[in-house]
Amino acid sequence: MFALTTESCLKKIDNVYSLVYLAAKRTVSLTRGEKSLLPDQEGEKPIMVAIEEIAAGKIALAPPEENNEPDES
């Protein structure tokens, strides 16, 4: 494991709120049994694995989907 800072993760994610959201979603996935995208993560806490994956650029937020439905105004 290497030392991580918020700044290193924010180079990959726009803002701290998006970073927290992405880390939380990934942590839940890892807790439910999904495998890490990085090697040698056996025994690491899921939150640390999620943060390391973000810092390594292995996961990112998907762009928001456009709503193409017509307005009912």
pLDDT for 7-41, tens place per residue? 788 888 888 899 999 999 999 999 999 999 999 88
Q: Which residues contact 4 (CB under 8 A, 6 or more apart)?
A: 51, 52, 55
Write the DSSP string, 20-62: HHHHHHHHHHHHTTPPPSSSS-TT--HHHHHHHHHHTTS--PP
Can you tell me which residue has the tokens 């990085």? Answer: 38
The pLDDT of residue 9 is 86
The pLDDT of residue 70 is 65
72 pLDDT more than 70: no
Taking the domains of the chain in order of start, what are their residue ranges?
Answer: 6-55
pLDDT in tens, 50-70: 999 999 999 988 877 766 666
pTM here is 0.77
The pLDDT of residue 22 is 93
